[in-house]
Structure 1
Amino acid sequence: MDAFAYDLHIHTALSPCGDEDMTPNNIANMAYLKGLDVIAVTDHNSCRNVSAVQKCGANAGVTVIPGMEVETSEEVHMVCLFKSLDDAYEMEEYVLSHLPEIKNKPEIFGRQLVMDENDQITDIKENLLITATTLSVYDVFGAAKRIGAVVFPAHIDKQSYSIISNLGFIPPELKFKLAEIKDKSKKDEIVKKHRLENVKILHNSDAHYLENIAERENFLHAKGRDLQSFFDCLI
């Protein structure tokens, strides 16, 4: 088993809160410059920039996992990682069918840009992506599992949009195998308090700006750097 540096929670310019410099080429090349081996693109309630980042990642020697950060009806953020683009698009269709039709106000939230592998804008999404869906935590977990995705609660140490801050606990019946903690100094306290000793803890950047993409300091141990090997080590 080899060690691979990861960052499995990165936003592109499709997320309105993401900087417009978060283009496919910029993300892939910054990940390369920072020494990362594998990243995941996890925009809010959509995965339309994954394909372009994957193409750029292939040129940079960085594996790119398709992903999406779904906001539940409880305003909990959950990250879903997929084995293929087809699986990601299937989940996206389900999520968008439960996303309220609220027109984005780019002057307030930012533009929602879909780009190709040359960083050219191919579409601008009009429906606001950073809002809660009508799907519960249980709905998102179940749908992701049916597709064969890996799903975990995002930034459980944050005071907003986290499963702990919003629900007060992590439902044991969901049996998460992974959870994300941003602040490493809080890991031991949170693991003990919420009985996560058997849960693999990930430390991701949740980057919305290029400079916030993780450094080469967090590692997965996998047999290879292909998508299947990374999924095998996550589950």
Structure 2
Amino acid sequence: MNRADLHTHTTASDGVHRPADNVKMAKEAGLAAIAITDHDTVAGIAEAKEAGRRCGVEVVPGVEISTSYEGTEIHVLGYYIDVEDPTLLRRLVSQRNVRDARNEGIVARLNELGIPLTMAEVAEAAGREPGMDETIGRPHIAEALVRRGVVATTQEAFDRYLAKGKPGYVDPPPRISPLEVFGWIREAGGTAIVAHPGLYRNDALAEKFLLDGADGLEAYHSDHGPEAERYFRELAEKHGKLATGGSDFHGARKGKIYHGAIGNRTVDVSVLAELRRRSARG
């Protein structure tokens, strides 16, 4: 009971399970703490915190914000942010608007390919309308394609249409830089961590971001092997920064867990105290 999974997603973005369910699974996995880090929204945190109070699991308020740097999509995790900070909430709305514009572009591209998908079908698959506090993304488009019978699984939807380089892929509209988002998170009282740096296939970026304001790196991730985990941990330590970790749990679709199960990657709970200490309001 001294471990924490600092990267999970819920139905507030592209996860399968409600925030309270993630907390329950953390309890069942023997974890002391879990972070809720939905994409560009904090809508799931209140429910998770209430569940955490009931079952004795600490819930770390977090968010995962999408950015772009020299043509590479970079995700930044923010921990112990003030989820009621009006400036942060306004900024997250702008982020979700970017996602909505991209979703419309993907649907239009699929229509050009002869697949008459509509945004209404995507909204139904997501269980929400665009413009709400929760996000809609490519996994919901994939689910809509499954429901329409175009593909058998969401993985097939990505493999055939939605992954980068596939015919239905659309680059997102211009996004802000990770350096700017480090500032957003700090201004909202939080600590900024570069998510899954090994997935960007450019290790030099990780060091650059540490030098340019990131508080640390997500060294431990379900898609990092032991060598990558050691490299990013040592890189963070070299610069006096934090090495965090989490499963990046999204839930299971058609029996396949996306990234990893809750508790698949964890850190000692002592990391939480350090995240709070380094936060702008800690």
Report how many residues are paired: 211
- For 1:218, the equivalent position in structure 2 comes to 267
Specify the code of the residue in structure 2 equivalent to 1:141: F
- Cα RMSD of the aligned pairs, angstroms, is 3.4
Q: Can you list the C-alpha shifts for 1:110-167, whole angstroms capped at 9, x where unaligned?
A: 8445xxxxxxxxxx2425544677321111011111222111000111247xxx4695
C-alpha spacing 1:174/1:208, structure 2 compared with 1 (3 Å): same
Alignment partner, residue 95 of structure 1: 92
Q: Given the alignment of the two structures, is residue 176 of structure 1 paired with residue 214 of structure 2, yes or no?
A: yes
Residue 195 to residue 86, structure 1, CA distance change in 2 (3 Å) = closer
Residue 139 of structure 1 aligns with an amino acid whose one-letter code is E
Q: In the TM superposition, what are the counterparts of 1:145-224 in structure 2 within 5 Å?
A: 145-159=186-200, 164=202, 167=205, 170-181=208-219, 182=221, 183=224, 185=226, 186-191=228-233, 196-197=237-238, 198-209=240-251, 212-214=261-263, 218-221=267-270
Secondary structure class of the residue paired with 1:11: coil
The reply on whether 1:49 has 2:44 as its aligned counterpart is: yes
Encode CA deviations 1:69-103: one digit per residue, 9 max, x unaligned. 0001332100011244323x642321222432425
Point out the more displaced range, 195-204 or 68-77.
195-204
CA contact (8 A) 1:36 1:216 kept: no
Q: For 2:130, which of 121, 126, 130 is the aligned residue?
A: 126
Partner of 2:28: 33
The structure-2 alpha-carbon separation of the partners of 1:141 and 1:159, relative to structure 1 and needing over 3 Å to count, comes to: closer
More helix by share: 2
Specify which of 76, 80, 83 is matched with residue 82 of structure 1: 80
| Of 135, 139, 146, the match for 2:176 | 135
TM-score (norm 2): 0.63
What percentage of aligned pairs have identical amino acids? 22
Q: Which runs of 5+ in 1 are unaligned?
A: 114-123
**1:156-192, Cα deviation, whole Å (9 max, x unpaired):** 11247xxx46957533442433210212512233455
Kept after mapping to 2: 8 A contact 1:8/1:40: yes
Corresponding residue for 1:232?
277
Unaligned runs of 5+ in 2: 105-118, 138-171
CA distance in 1 between partners of 2:200 and 2:179 (Å): 21
Higher relative contact order (CA 8 A, sep 6+): 1
Kept in 1, the 8 Å contact 2:246–2:265? The answer is no
